[in-house]
Copies of this chain bind each other. A is one copy, B any other.
Amino acid sequence: MTDAPHPLAIAEVRLTPVLVADPPLLNTQGVHQPYTPRLIIELVTEAGVTGLGETYGDTGYLDLARPLAAALTGRRVTDLNGLPALAAEVCGGSPAVTGDSPVATDADAVHAGGLRGARTAEKLRLSVLSGFEVACLDAWGKATGLPVHALLGGKVRDRVEYGGYLFYRWAGHPGGRGERDDWGAALDPAGVVAQAHRFADTYGFTSFKLKGGVFEPAHEVATIRALAAAFPGRPLRLDPNGAWSVATSLKVADELADLLEYLEDPAGGTARMAEVAAGTRLPLATNMCVTTFDEIAEAFRRRAVQVVLCDHHYWGGLRATRELAAVCRTFGVGLSMHSNTHLGISLAAMTQVAATVPDLHHACDTHYPWQTEDVLTERIAIRDGKVAVGDAPGLGVTLDRDRLAALHHRWLADDGGLRDRDDAAAMRHAQPDWTVPAVPRW
């Protein structure tokens, strides 16, 4: 082995966990913590090109990322098909997320998996390796002068549309924790409509998703009605994260059938979703009952979902996202994109892959406007509700090392349990007896 290292071989991988400011956004489990963990991945090739990736930053993910990073050294950034087997080999022993069962059942999907469906050891590995896959693609693109979308077969559109992601929220975190913002509270229809107007004015969003499951369904139905009145004809969605019974889901579906583009995860699990789907003409979308390739066959056979909301983080990367798109296209199921709290690296990755999928018929979700902090030298612009798909090499974004260092220092300094996202714990700062509600909640 006297050959010089290949220029596309990985010489070094740097992992930097950060804590990012997050507003007090409400969901059925509780409220966002003042800061949320993310992991920033830098992967340096033998030729000195650096690729960037981003994924979940909770402790369990970091525990998997470290051995995977070590195992990547010496491999080439093009060697992506082998990543799942490598991850299984080096991270396979431990489900690794403390306190979660490695395989969730229908009944505990909401509890164990947070808001992202069943939690399995494989899905956790995929959530980690996807960050490395993105970093590999970024490095490969930079090394060859090609945008990531070209490495995925080329863009089929020049702009990717995102929807305005509306939340019931407080004006600030309990006890004055975290960073302040000037959005104010949004706890009723008028507050949410005001939020939507500001989103539309600032970013040009023309479709809106409301995170539901927070208040009793009648309140959330009233909020959708208010949005429909304020934005007539615009695509609207409601996502209670599986908090409803089948009967409640059907009642809401009936009430909102003419106003919603789709209803997202009204009830938890494939069986309940199939029952709801059979009783309404409203399409059902999901990022909870179909979140892995293993869950597809049954859900599609039972016609439980009409739109899969893909998240490249836990589906296993940008190439897996394209494979999911092929599966959905083959079975006549729609595809759009899910979002958790994320920074600009992930938004760039989402945009690059979304640009390559011909059958993307709905605006994608993104939390990005809620993240006032980022690790990039320049924030990604959303105009007319869309992100431009650039042709700069790789992801087309540049890391700001000072900002990265500042957010990492916040992570280093944390001793308040913020290194693991826990929306229920955050809620207990306001309601000390709060526990994650049993489902169905209504």
A228–B33 CA distance with the chains assembled, in angstroms: 67
| 20 other A-B residue contacts (CB within 8 Å) besides A78-B146, A297-B330, A326-B326 | A78-B150, A78-B154, A79-B150, A79-B153, A80-B154, A81-B153, A81-B356, A82-B154, A84-B358, A85-B156, A85-B358, A144-B144, A153-B319, A293-B329, A293-B330, A296-B331, A297-B332, A301-B301, A322-B323, A323-B326
Tell me whether A383 is interfacial, beta carbon within 8 Å.
no
Residues in B neighbouring A323, C-beta threshold 8 A? 322-323, 326
Tell me whether A187 is interfacial, beta carbon within 8 Å.
no
CB distance from A71 to the nearest CB of B (A): 15
Tell me whether A38 is interfacial, beta carbon within 8 Å.
no
Interface flags, A43-62, vs B, CB<8A=1, else 0: 00000000000000000000
A358–B322 CA distance with the chains assembled, in angstroms: 17
Asked if A297 contacts B156 (CB within 8 A), the reply is no
If the complex has contacts A76-B150, A301-B301, A332-B297, are A82 and B156 also in contact, measured as CB distance less than 8 A? yes
Shortest 7 CB-CB contacts between residues of A and residues of B: A323-B326, A79-B154, A78-B150, A81-B153, A80-B153, A81-B154, A293-B330
Tell me whether A152 is interfacial, beta carbon within 8 Å.
yes
Tell me whether A155 is interfacial, beta carbon within 8 Å.
yes
Tell me whether A271 is interfacial, beta carbon within 8 Å.
no
Tell me whether A327 is interfacial, beta carbon within 8 Å.
yes
CB distance from A164 to the nearest CB of B (A): 28
Asked if B156 contacts A81 (CB within 8 A), the reply is yes
- Residue contacts A-B, CB under 8 angstroms, 24 given: A76-B150, A78-B146, A78-B153, A78-B154, A81-B152, A81-B154, A81-B155, A81-B156, A81-B356, A82-B154, A82-B156, A85-B156, A144-B144, A293-B326, A293-B329, A293-B330, A296-B331, A297-B330, A297-B331, A323-B326, A324-B326, A326-B326, A327-B327, A327-B330
A322–B152 CA distance with the chains assembled, in angstroms: 12
Residues in B neighbouring A322, C-beta threshold 8 A? 323
A326–B304 CA distance with the chains assembled, in angstroms: 21
**Total residues of chain A contacting the partner, CB 8 A:** 33
A120–B84 CA distance with the chains assembled, in angstroms: 37
Residues in B neighbouring A152, C-beta threshold 8 A? 81
Name the contact of A81 in the complex, choosing from B82, B327, B358 (C-beta under 8 A): B358
Residues in B neighbouring A146, C-beta threshold 8 A? 78
CB distance from A159 to the nearest CB of B (A): 16
The chain B residue with its CB closest to the CB of A319 is B153
Complex interface residues of chain A between 66 and 123 (CB less than 8 A to chain B): 76, 78-82, 84-85
A153–B153 CA distance with the chains assembled, in angstroms: 12
The chain B residue with its CB closest to the CB of A293 is B330
CB distance from A77 to the nearest CB of B (A): 10
CB distance from A82 to the nearest CB of B (A): 6
A85–B358 CA distance with the chains assembled, in angstroms: 9
The chain B residue with its CB closest to the CB of A78 is B150
Residues in B neighbouring A85, C-beta threshold 8 A? 156, 358
CB distance from A174 to the nearest CB of B (A): 44
Complex interface residues of chain A between 280 and 335 (CB less than 8 A to chain B): 293, 296-297, 301, 319, 322-324, 326-327, 329-332
A304–B331 CA distance with the chains assembled, in angstroms: 16
Residues in B neighbouring A330, C-beta threshold 8 A? 293, 296-297, 327
CB distance from A37 to the nearest CB of B (A): 29
Interface flags, A344-361, vs B, CB<8A=1, else 0: 000000000000101000
Residues in B neighbouring A80, C-beta threshold 8 A? 153-154
A322–B80 CA distance with the chains assembled, in angstroms: 13
